[in-house]
Amino acid sequence: MNRLMPLLFSSLAIVSIFSFFLINSPNPFPITSKQDLNSVQNQPEDDNDHRLHSHAVQVKQIPPPTKDEECDLFKGQWVPDLRGPLYTNSSCRSIPESKNCFKNGRKDTDFLNWKWKPEKCELPEFDPKAFLEIVRGKKMAFIGDSVARNHVESLLCLLSQEELPEEIYKDSEDRFRTWYFPQHDFTLMKLWSKYLIAADERMVNGTGSGIFDLHIDKIDDEWAKHLPDLDYAIISDGHWFFRVLYLLEGDNLIGCVYCNQPNITGLNISNAVRMAFRTAFKYISNCKKCKGGLLTLLRTFAPAHFENGAWNTGGHCNRTSPFGEAQVDFTKFDWEMRNIQIEEMKGARKEGKNIRVLDITRAMLMRPDGHPGIHWGNQWMKGYSDCVHWCMPGPVDYWSNFLMALIRN
């Protein structure tokens, strides 16, 4: 035992450093690896206004597909589009430091010059004015981890080109936030949840271990208590499942992920993800106090693109252009994660609830060029690449194109 003590304290020290990062950073990475505008920066306002006007006059507004038309918005390819983004890091002042890739030194800009083109139709351009009219008098919440927050941050930049919101709530850890658009009586919320279900981190000498007990039969009430007030709930999750997890039903331990302990049933990530999303959808389906018009959207798993290692073993993401579909490996776990989430969503839809899918996985598997990489400005984690979150502006902005198409229909 005495021989093991130095190793134990050394291990706990490493865990403490990374636990501090995961708890205090708004951008946690998965702990376990998976298989695997230089000129835009600080542009004058006049130039930004011109770029926005250019979008307005050049884009042909395409109506939503009719019921008789065959259109899968989520199956297509990225095609060149030289008009550039709808905002920059000068026209949107709320871009978080960690997503402000140009401010943090990114020089290439070609990754901004692509748009998503479905195979059999067109994906309508995002129109902030039309979006705010659709959601007038409504409440919308994004429920999930820091990638869900990434989507909210992108949407805020897009909407701020039409109306600047008021921030009316922010918790001390920047995990629960609420904005209000007074001209449209629209409330936008970010509700943080690592797993969607109840979870407790195991502590060692008062320090988080990065190991979690998941209660597969209990919802995470921190987001669920807001559900009755919502008109739109966009749920997502996935990146926190790649670590040691113990799964409990009631007081009974039913298995674990990555623990490799005798007398405990070994489960895989797929089991944990399926149980978590099944519980979340069951809760939504059985919500008696929820509004009858509640629309729930599953935003499918957003893949990471670490190459030549994991985030903590030298993995990087320094590509500057999209993949074609032929370059995507659909045998990786990213696609399985997406399939599990959609299977559970379809099961919930059988209950008659209005649950639909915002399926971004295929499109984002083709965008290894959209991540901050080393350009995320974190002073405590220098040398590490962020290949999980997405630069702003960047391909993450197209998630709101999909969102608008779904809520408009």
- 3-state SS class at 296: strand
Q: Is 213 a catalytic residue?
A: no
In angstroms, the CA 81 to CA 142 distance is 29
What are the beta bridge partners of residue 177? Answer: 170, 190
- Of the listed 146, 154, 160, 400, which one is catalytic? 146
- 3-state SS class at 51: helix
In angstroms, the CA 201 to CA 211 distance is 6
Other Cβ atoms less than 10 A from the Cβ of 293: the count is 9
- Give, in degrees to the nearest 5, the angle at Cα 373 between 367 and 379: 155
Contact assessment for residue 303 and residue 317, using Cβ atoms and an 8 Å cutoff: no
Q: Is 217 a catalytic residue?
A: no
Alpha carbon of 11 to those of 29, 30, 137, 204, 362: distances in Å? 19, 18, 51, 11, 38
Of the candidates 267, 36, 22, the residue with the CA atom closest to the CA atom of residue 145: 22
- 3-state SS class at 172: coil
Q: Which residues of 369-398 are buried (b: 16+ CB within 10 A; e: fewer)?
A: bbbbbbbbbbeebeebbbbbbbbbbbbbbb
CA-based max dimension of the chain: 74
Residue 118's identity, in one-letter code, is P
Q: Is 146 a catalytic residue?
A: yes
In angstroms, the CA 363 to CA 114 distance is 12
What does the DSSP 8-state code read for residue 93? Answer: T
- Of the listed 385, 389, 397, 400, which one is catalytic? 389
Report the helix count and the strand count for the chain, using DSSP H and E.
9, 14
What is the four-CA torsion angle of 399, 238, 109, 96, rounded to 10 degrees?
90
Contact assessment for residue 251 and residue 237, using Cβ atoms and an 8 Å cutoff: no
Strand extents, DSSP E, 227-328: 232-235, 245-249, 252-257, 266-267, 295-299
- Of the listed 145, 334, 359, 386, which one is catalytic? 386
Contact assessment for residue 286 and residue 227, using Cβ atoms and an 8 Å cutoff: no
Query: Which positions are catalytic?
Result: 146, 386, 389
